[in-house]
């Protein structure tokens, strides 16, 4: 019961436009997997298809930070959107490992998609 109260408090603290966007996303998806994919993975940076999924359960990859486009087969980093078809180890992780802003999980407030250091060292993000 306490967990539901915490969830409700977080929900109430969200701006109305965020609440509306989340409600719309839930209403428009056909499955829980599709909702998670749209929120966590996003559209394919190669073909812009929204038919994507994470690779957590893909044999040989097992990494939820790698996105797979179900339409064109493109493999990409779900965090910085870079092409991972040649190498499944995204280069932004190497930068995050040495960053003083990152916590023990290599996370920071900025995130790799907006990080000036990642953009500078890797030449910008894929659009």
In-domain check, residue 7: no
User: What is the residue-level pLDDT of the chain in tens, covering all 127 positions?
Assistant: 567 787 888 888 888 887 787 787 777 767 777 666 677 888 999 999 988 999 988 999 999 889 999 999 999 999 889 999 999 999 888 888 888 888 887 778 888 888 888 888 887 554 4
Cβ atoms of 122 and 92 within 8 Å: the answer is yes
In-domain check, residue 94: yes
What gap in Å lies between CA 76 and CA 47, rounded to an integer? 12
Number of domains in the chain: 1
In-domain check, residue 11: no
Structural domain of 103:
29-122
In-domain check, residue 15: no
What gap in Å lies between CA 35 and CA 55, rounded to an integer? 15
In-domain check, residue 68: yes
Cβ atoms of 20 and 11 within 8 Å: the answer is no
Residue at token pair 């965090």: 79
In-domain check, residue 74: yes
What gap in Å lies between CA 42 and CA 35, rounded to an integer? 10
User: Do β-strands 63-69 and 75-77 pair in parallel, antiparallel, or remain unpaired?
Assistant: antiparallel
What gap in Å lies between CA 85 and CA 46, rounded to an integer? 11
Residue ranges in the chain assigned as alpha helix (H): 2-13, 16-28, 32-36, 92-97, 116-122
What gap in Å lies between CA 37 and CA 97, rounded to an integer? 26
* Predicted local confidence at residue 70, as pLDDT: 93
* Predicted local confidence at residue 1, as pLDDT: 56
In-domain check, residue 21: no
């Amino acid at each position: 019961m306490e967990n539901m109260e915490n969830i409700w408090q977080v929900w109430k603290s969200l701006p109305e436009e965020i609440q509306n966007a989340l409600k719309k996303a839930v209403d428009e998806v056909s499955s829980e997997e599709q909702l998670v994919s749209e929120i966590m993975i996003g559209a394919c940076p190669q073909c812009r298809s929204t038919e994507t999924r994470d690779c957590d359960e893909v044999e040989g990859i097992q990494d939820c930070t790698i996105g797979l486009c179900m339409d064109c087969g493109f493999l990409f980093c779900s965090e910085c959107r870079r092409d991972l078809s040649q190498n499944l180890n995204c280069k932004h992780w190497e930068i995050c490992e040495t960053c003083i802003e990152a916590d023990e999980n290599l996370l920071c407030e900025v995130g790799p998609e907006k990080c000036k250091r990642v953009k500078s060292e890797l030449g910008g993000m894929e659009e």
